[in-house]
Chains A and B, each alone.
Chain A
């Protein structure tokens, strides 16, 4: 059974940093691209970042302006999102998802809540 479990969310002050993790199991993690998606309270889904299976290709949403970095450790079956210079508008639930061909996510984690507030 495919499982994706996010962790690392919490309350952080504006300008602060946070590192999210996504632990994968039930499939060959090193064979799949992965995505981060976020959802602000009461809003729609917003794609954040993609990383290819080997980590060779990385894409980020333009709105992030270089503040976020996606990475992975295939030996640990883990996906990460380093978030710097956090702003109030970064508040929301962050999901990791397993990517397919042009498909953002065939399986999703349950999400982790990030709150940016003073």
Chain B
């Protein structure tokens, strides 16, 4: 079954760009989705199908997926972007959803 690898944390200065990776075997051949979760809140979908944004998500959030790595990019990071971010895909061999362990974005 699929295993998704995320770094535990990413630190970024305000106004800079945060890049969060999600590694998996031939992940580039699958659709990857990203969720943001702030403390005490439910997860929020920020990117679906590798690079599409739901309505209401600012274009500072973007995604890419190729080879063995999917990446969530947050441009012009602000304090409001501090959160945990999770990648997710569907494993069609096991009919299971899979989450990465999550990455905490820390705004310095």
Interface of A toward B, CB cutoff 8 Å: 35, 37, 44-47, 50, 59, 61-62, 95, 97, 100-111
Asked whether A104 lies within 8 Å of B42 as measured between CB atoms, the reply is no
* Chain A CB within 8 A of B31 CB: yes
- Given the contacts A95-B42, A105-B43, A108-B42, A46 and B99 also touching, CB distance less than 8 Å: yes
List 8 A-B pairs, Cβ < 8 Å.
Answer: A35-B97, A61-B96, A95-B42, A95-B43, A105-B45, A106-B45, A108-B42, A110-B42
Q: CA of A62 to CA of B33 in the docked complex: distance in angstroms?
A: 22
Interface of B toward A, CB cutoff 8 Å: 30-31, 33, 35, 37, 42-45, 48-49, 54, 84, 86, 88-90, 95-102
CB contacts (< 8 Å) of A101 on chain B: these are 31
Chain B's nearest CB lies how many Å from the CB of A92? Answer: 13
Q: CA of A61 to CA of B99 in the docked complex: distance in angstroms?
A: 12
Residue from A35, A37, A44, A103 in contact with B102 in the complex, judged by beta carbons closer than 8 Å: A44
Asked whether A100 lies within 8 Å of B48 as measured between CB atoms, the reply is yes
Asked whether B48 lies within 8 Å of A45 as measured between CB atoms, the reply is no
Chain A's nearest CB lies how many Å from the CB of B28? Answer: 15
Interface of A is mostly: strand
7 smallest CB-CB distances across A and B, nearest first, come from A102-B90, A47-B97, A108-B42, A44-B102, A104-B97, A59-B95, A45-B99
Asked whether B88 lies within 8 Å of A104 as measured between CB atoms, the reply is yes
8 further A-B contacts with Cβ under 8 Å, apart from A44-B86, A102-B90, are: A35-B97, A44-B101, A45-B35, A45-B43, A62-B96, A95-B42, A103-B49, A108-B42
Chain B's nearest CB lies how many Å from the CB of A111? Answer: 6
Instruction: Specify the chain B residue showing the minimal Cβ separation from A93.
Output: B42
CB contacts (< 8 Å) of A37 on chain B: these are 43
Instruction: Specify the chain A residue showing the minimal Cβ separation from B44.
Output: A108
Instruction: Specify the chain B residue showing the minimal Cβ separation from A99.
Output: B97
CB contacts (< 8 Å) of B49 on chain A: these are 103
